Chains A and B, each alone.
Chain A
Amino acid sequence: MADTSAIPAPVGLPRTAPTSGLFEKLTTVLGVLTLVAMAVATYLALVYAPRDALTGQVQRIFYFHVPAAWVGFLAFFVVFVASIGYLWRRTTAWDAVARSSAEIGLLFTTIMLVTGSIWGKPVWGTWWSWDPKLTTSLILWFIYLGYLMLRAYAPTREQGARYAAVLGIVGFVDVPIVYLATTWWRTLHPEAVITPEGAAMDPRMLLAFLVSLGAFTLLYGYLMLRRVRIERLQERVEALEDDAAYTREVPARG
C-alpha cells in the first residue's frame, strides 16, 4: 500500500450538503415577499404618490434612485464587516459574504448612477456634472469594480480574498464621503429630504419612499441568499476537484 503520510490532505473540505432545505425555503419565502413588496412599491411610486409641482413626473425616479443608493451603501457596509471577519478568522464563509455583497453593491451603484444621470438631464440640462456628490459616487463605483477585478485576477483564491478584504475595508471610507458630500461641499445634488428634524415632503410621497426603501432592502436580502448559495456550491465543486487531484496523486507517488 502506498505511504500517504507525506502528502498533505485537502484542508477545510466541506463535507456537508452545500444547500440545506431551510436555506432553500427561506430563499423562496423571501423571493415571494420581495416580489409583492416591489409590486406595491412600484404602484405607490407611479400612481399613489402625487406629481411633483416643480419637476413633474421625472421626480418619481427618486423612489428607486435613492433606494438603489441605500442598497449600494448597505452592501458595501456588509463587505466592510465581512472583510474584517475574514482577516480575523480566515474562514471562507466571511469571504463568500464579502464577495457576494460587493457584486450586488456594484449592481445597485450602477443603477443609482444611471438613474441619477437620467434624472439630471431634464432637471439640470446635462447627463453628467463633475459635482462632488456625483464624482465621489463614481469613485465608489470604480473602487468596487476594482475589488471584483482584484479577486478575478489574483494568482490564488486565498490571495484574492486577502487583498480584496483590505480593499473592502479601505474602500468603505468613500461611503460616508458620498453620503455627506451635500453637507460638506456646494453641490448641484439635492440635499437629504429626511433628517432627524423630520421629512420635507408630502406624507403620500414619504409613504411611497419608505415602502420602496423596504422593498429594495428585501431585494438585497433575497439576492444575497442566492449569491451566497452560489459561493457555497462553488466551494463544494472546488473541494471535490481537490479531492480528485489528491486521490490521483496518491497512487502516482506510491
Chain B
Amino acid sequence: MDSLSYLIAALAVTIISIIVYVYYLGQRTRELRRDLAAMEQAQHSGRQ
C-alpha cells in the first residue's frame, strides 16, 4: 500500500463511522417517536 492508500483508508474509517452513527441516531429517534405516538394514542383512547 502506498502513502495515499493509507490516507484514503483513514479518511474512509472516519467518514463511514460518523455517517453510520448519525444514521443510527435517526433510526432510534424514529422508533421512539413511533412508540411514543402509539402509547399516547392508547392512553387517550383509555381515558375516553
Contacts and interface: CB of A to CB of B under 8 A. Distances in A.
CB-based closest 5 A-B pairs: A233-B32, A56-B3, A115-B10, A118-B10, A61-B10
B20 to A, nearest CB: 9
Interface of B: 1, 3-4, 6-7, 9-11, 13-14, 17-18, 21-22, 25, 28-29, 32-33, 35-36, 39-40, 42-43, 46
Interface in A225-254: 226-227, 229-230, 233-234, 236-237, 240-241, 243-244, 247
Given A60-B7, A236-B36, A244-B43, A110 B21 contact: no
Interface of A: 18, 42, 46, 55-58, 60-61, 64-65, 68, 107, 110-111, 114-115, 118-119, 121-122, 219, 223, 226-227, 229-230, 233-234, 236-237, 240-241, 243-244, 247
A60 B5 CA distance: 12
Contacts of A237: 32, 35-36, 39
Contacts of B42: 244
Q: Interface SS of chain B: helix, strand, loop or mixed? A: helix
Given A18-B36, A223-B21, A229 B29 contact: yes
A11 to B, nearest CB: 18
A64 B9 CA distance: 12
Contacts of B4: 57
A230 B10 contact: no
